[in-house]
Structure 1
């Protein structure tokens, strides 16, 4: 009997020691809000009337928005943004006077109901709010949680105006299979956000707006499990069609073009200007053609070096800078070809006529006499002089043609070069 009483006393002591008074008012408040039986169920939306939606405020850029990288060749955006999500939970309200003046406290998000916001891009889903995220509870039932998200996403770049192009990348943030009749997202962008850009882009604008996804439902004929009828054009108001609201974040960026002008456009234009000098070199200098070939090789080496800096064309349109370099290369090649033609014309020589050396052999007294017939005849001297003058006249005419061809080539080259500049500026600015 005494042993039974002793065991009973020990058990009561253990029970009362475990169920002792709360450590402080915050613990007492937490136990009253979340641990009381039937007091809180995080699976249920925090609205008194189940037919009413709950308003969730999504604030983007509360701390900062960072553009970490935008790869033009891979067309991928790597960025980060802070999200502040706020909503009201009537079950988490209390009177501060009943709990020692406690007006707020911090709990893990997995202990309360919270909207399952995700970032949708390229088939990947990133949770905006995780179970380990801390939430701030206010005495009036306001709940606020904040998180910083880093994400990769593809961004289709239209780079026809490179390096003077501007791009806009979109990211969707929303709920999974949750219609707007249950949870209503209210986006907002802070005006005093801190912007960090660590690459060669500058921010033009950040916009945030609701984005209603198209209704995609289907009907299943239960008599035939394999029969599925897709509803492609549902009627607005059809109870089978549940619209979901996402938030579309649009980031508008402009490329910093100064560095590309110095490293890509400037050297190409300089090589194009130097190539015009090939037409002014005298043909007799011996370096006219080799100078043009050297410039042509310089263009090839330059294009190889800047190949990594040039992006791939987007939307089937080559970048303006690439077109500018290729056209300059083509003009330089044409100038070298024309130079070769002018050198041929400049050095054109009339083939000499064969001389008729008629020899007369006379046999006199057993000796053979060889005599050249009329070699120094006055008539033949006149013919030779005419041939020499004719040859010089023809050569002079070919040199004049070569010179005029050089001048014509110079005019055409300069005209083509300036037309190329005009086309580049128009394609980059329009």
Structure 2
């Protein structure tokens, strides 16, 4: 009985195995791509660790291409460039060639980076570890053609270091390179060749920056201690240079023009009379306003060795606005001081400041002020005869007559006020001339801007 049961179980097991085998074999048949993959990966002599060369002294030529889709951002403070690119790598692996006629004339098959040998290419100035390595498993599939050509194409968002030159901000142009190096492979092992880039950003330019050109270059970098046998080795690299030009209109309208207007308003304190209570507060308000613009520029630009021309311009305006306050205080002290003005102790300077300079600066002279004050001490009939237009020519007024009606203390005050008003006008002219000089020199410095650098990566 047990023998019969064993036989039945054996027959049932064989039927199950045969049915499963038939089901698996008839479930699907591998297409040409699957057959090619099995054929290539089953080769005994293939290893993902071996370079695809017949002679170990030969170098693997890796051709790299780059398409710039968008220039996302350039952070001036951190000096970080963010771009969206399409990167392609191509090399020859004769071990992965096949006869297309043996596989239904199939000439292209998809492979995964971990299945075959791939060059390790990294971006040396990348700030993002995920975008540092290009041929990584997360980049997608490789395309393999029947002649053994392997191609990798992947989209990538790059965050790279870009050293900025902000001397001519906001009329500056920047050059941001992208460096590609084989990882720990000298040029006699891997030779990296960068092809001409393609700029596809014409329809997607950044609001502030414009990509004026995009070029590439190849070279060899002398790397000390790369190999144990040689003290120095050459490392093949490819570099892509992105030439950017800033649109200055935003900074001109929000930074340069308002700061210049504030500087001119600071000089307007000299137009106010010494007894005006808002004179000092106006100067202090303008200084605080210029401080805000200084902080704004400091927050935008990075810390570099060279001082931007615009920063120098704002610093000069800030210093002049600050100087208006002590000069205003000096003139107020001069106009309402109790002691006699030191400059008026000499006959030449007295005549200069109370008679000649008032006429030049259109300030009432000492004689005119004495005349006006002296008439206040006369009777109404004399005042009418002196000040009336009709009688002024018939009754000329002698200055000495009015000086007799003014006390010595009042004369000193009139002299001091006259000198203070003259100094206000002279300081106003001096500050305006200094402002115009600084503005013209700033324009001349900006005109020395060489503009967009030569469209070449050879020097970088």
Moved more, 189-198 or 98-107: 189-198
Equivalent runs, 1:11-410 vs 2, <5 Å: 22-35=29-42, 37-38=43-44, 40-61=46-67, 64-121=68-125, 126-132=132-138, 133-194=140-201, 196-198=204-206, 200-217=208-225, 241-303=232-294, 306=296, 309-315=299-305, 317-349=306-338, 388-410=406-428
Judge conservation of contact 1:163–1:320 (CA < 8 Å) in 2: no
SS in structure 2 opposite 1:272?
helix
Deviations 1:269-307 (A, max 9, x none): 011122232222333555434433333343345545x35
Q: CA deviation at 1:331?
A: 0.8
Distance apart, 1:267 and its partner CA: 0.7
For residues 155 and 275 of structure 2, the distance between their equivalents in structure 1, rounded to whole angstroms, comes to 72
Alpha-carbon shift at residue 404 of structure 1 (Å): 2.2
Superposed CA offset, 1:228-256 (max 9, x none): xxxxxxxxxx9664322122222232222
Distance, in Å, in 1 between the alignment partners of 2:292 and 2:200 is 45
Q: For 1:140, what is the secondary structure of its paired residue?
A: coil
Residue 119 of structure 1: how far off its partner (Å): 1.4
CA distance in 2, matches of 1:274, 1:193: 47
Q: Is the 8 A contact 1:171 1:249 kept in 2?
A: yes
Q: How many residues align?
A: 377
| Change in CA separation of 1:26 and 1:154 when aligned onto 2, cut-off 3 Å | closer
Alignment partner of 1:415: what SS?
A: helix
CA drift of 1:398 comes to: 2.2
Instruction: Describe the shift of the 1:45–1:294 C-alpha distance in structure 2 as closer, same or farther (beyond 3 A).
Output: closer
Q: Which sections of structure 2, spanning at least 5 residues, go unmatched?
A: 341-402, 449-460
**Which position in structure 2 is the counterpart of 1:380?**
none
Instruction: Give TM-score, length-normalised by structure 1.
Output: 0.76
Partner SS for 2:233: coil
Change (3 A) 1:135 1:122: closer
Cα separation, 1, equivalents of 2:29 and 2:53: 29
CA gap of 1:26–1:328, structure 2 versus 1, over 3 A, is same
Tell me how far apart the structure 1 counterparts of residues 265 and 82 of structure 2 sit (CA, whole Å): 41
Consecutive unaligned residues of structure 1, counting only runs of 5 or more, are 221-237, 352-384
Greater Cα offset, 80-89 or 1-10: 1-10
More strand, by proportion = 1
- TM-score, normalised to structure 2's length? 0.71
**Contact persistence 2:270–2:427 (CA under 8 A):** yes
Q: Take 1:47 and 1:32, find their aligned partners in 2: how far apart are those partners?
A: 20
